Amino acid sequence: MNRVDVAIVVPPRTLLLDVAGPAEAFRLADTHLADQGRPERFRLRFVGPQAQAPSSVGLQVAGLEALPTRFAAPTWLMVVGQPSAALGRPDAATLDTIDWLRRDVGPLLASGEDHRLIGVCTGALLLARAGLLGGRRCTTHHAFIEMLRRLAPAAQVVDNRVFVLDGALATSAGVTAGIDLALHLIALACGDALAARVAKDLVVYLRRTPNDPELSPLLAHRHHIHPALHRAQDAVCERPGNDWTLASLADAAHVTTRHLLRLFAEHAAVSPMTYVEKIRLERARQALSGGASVTRAAEHAGFASDLQLRRAWGRHLDGTPRAARP
């Protein structure tokens, strides 16, 4: 699997959290991959119209590479935001960035290769000024939704969303939503279990609105910071085929069975064995979508039989396991 160049585009007066939040998520993803003996997936680069850029809080961001004109595949270009004062009066360096987006990045987005263009927070406004959002679904910080609509009248601008994906284009709402988007992209590239570990490290709540992409069961029920409960959930995600019982889950968490029941009820809003069943269903669904037979998917996920898989499917999912195959 090719390593991804994640090039974070840093304009003048950049919002520092837009840079640091997603960058830290990608760094942690590589750390966990290395710990598992897997090759690192992301190569972080920081680029801009100038070698040094002031941030929104006054800290200087130095050592920036020049804006690239050639791209190794795959490349993810992440354009981060600026505060309102900078957005209303783009300076010369920002205008240079917009020209570069129009000239060099527009063809990249249309190339059909494994590239992505990502707008974090008000970074979407720079994409709009460059004419890259026409006909695309996108979003931005809630305070700048109407400005985005004016700048990109042909775009399908949606509000009340944490992030929006439209093919190779991805945009997020304000500031910390860039972390949510980075976690989603990590899940797509490296798997839900690894993204869950990164989210746990960052101590973030994986937010979704009713219209955002649904959380995978491997990421759901993780909106807490209780280490014992995370230990039990990690064990199930890593070894769904184990013969899990309440006692063995409690052993994995290093707590009593009574305490584990309380932890799941208070922090995960699901019972321990229902959680196990949901994780197994997700493993089975993934196997089925890859072409596995119902019997093979049941075995892969830890179900005792096809019948047990079908019954669990009926409790939690629509349709049938067979219909989930391509």
Catalytically annotated residues: 121
Could you give the 3-state DSSP secondary structure of residue 212? coil
Q: Name the residue type at position 225.
A: I
- DSSP-derived 3-state class of residue 58: coil
Q: Taking Cα atoms as reference points, which of 70, 77, 69, 73 lies closest to residue 3?
A: 73
Q: What's the farthest any 2 CA atoms get from each other in the chain?
A: 66
The answer to whether 191 and 279 have CB atoms below 8 angstroms apart is: no
145 vs 135: CA distance, rounded Å = 16
Q: Which amino acid is at 174?
A: G
Rg (CA), the chain: 22
Phi, psi of 156 (to 5 degrees): -100, 85
Number of neighbouring beta carbons within 10 Å of residue 48:
24
CB atoms near residue 321 (< 10 Å): 25
Length of the chain: 326
Of 119, 128, 121, nearest in space to 90 by CA: 128
Query: Distance between the two ends of the chain, CA-based, in angstroms?
Result: 23
Torsion of CA 15, 16, 19, 20, to 10 degrees: -150
